[in-house]
Structure 1
């Protein structure tokens, strides 16, 4: 093994993640060493320690793992934990009333921007998938 083999493919993956998210992707990394999904973005695989991580885009299809309501001054909002088909879990907003998202419900995610507040980061939003 040479010193070059120990240099991460991407030393600052969070910047690439944010750029891809701003472009409307649902990005994640896949490890070339063990073929497992890696999320959130990292420099090395938490499963096998490989530094050979490459970016992929999720189709956004998944299953509701959990949900909750976060109270706030503006009334609050629903939060979902979704297991995506590619093998990782994300936290996201519900597109409408989370009561319509029972555990195990099939959902489809998309990246939404807040048109009223351009300073806000793009957020992941899930909707019920048509049955």
Structure 2
């Protein structure tokens, strides 16, 4: 499994994910959520932020099924599903992740024919990585 590359702004996201929590960076001044994490609020320009817990429910906004040829690190897992999920409790925030049958299941454990735009999903965690399962 590939590990995420973290930076100072995104590191809290990954620390929470390692604990099985899906949190979204939110401006402490105007309360608007933002993703990807960044140091300054794009709405009010404040540098104050906090990490709010999400319920982890959402809908598939888009998805793709990569097939070889791919980078060597990914080729052994293909074909697999990568989805863009819009969070139900944080509208406008979309996260990317794999759709799997259960936490820790193989990346190719869901038949792409079972997916559709708008399908309900919920977050699960495997090795500190958020993944999505059909709800």
Shorter-chain TM-score tier: 0.7 to 0.9
TM-score normalised over the length of structure 2? 0.73
Unaligned runs of 5+ in 1: 1-11, 114-121
Instruction: Evaluate the alpha carbon distance shift between residue 37 and residue 98 of structure 1 in structure 2; reply closer, same or farther with a 3 A threshold.
Output: farther
Number of residue pairs matched by the alignment: 110
Match of 1:106 among 101, 117, 120: 120
Q: Which has the larger radius of gyration?
A: 1
Runs of 4 or more above 2 Å deviation: 12-15, 72-76
Q: Tell me how far 1:124 sits from its aligned partner.
A: 1.7
Q: Tell me how far 1:15 sits from its aligned partner.
A: 2.3
Q: Which has the higher strand share?
A: 1
| 1:45 aligned counterpart, secondary structure | coil
What's the C-alpha RMSD, in Å, of the aligned pairs?
1.5
| 2:31 aligned counterpart, secondary structure | coil
TM-score normalised over the length of structure 1? 0.75
| 2:81 aligned counterpart, secondary structure | strand
Determine the structure 2 residue equivalent to 1:94: 99
| 1:59 aligned counterpart, secondary structure | coil
Match of 1:27 among 12, 17, 23: 23
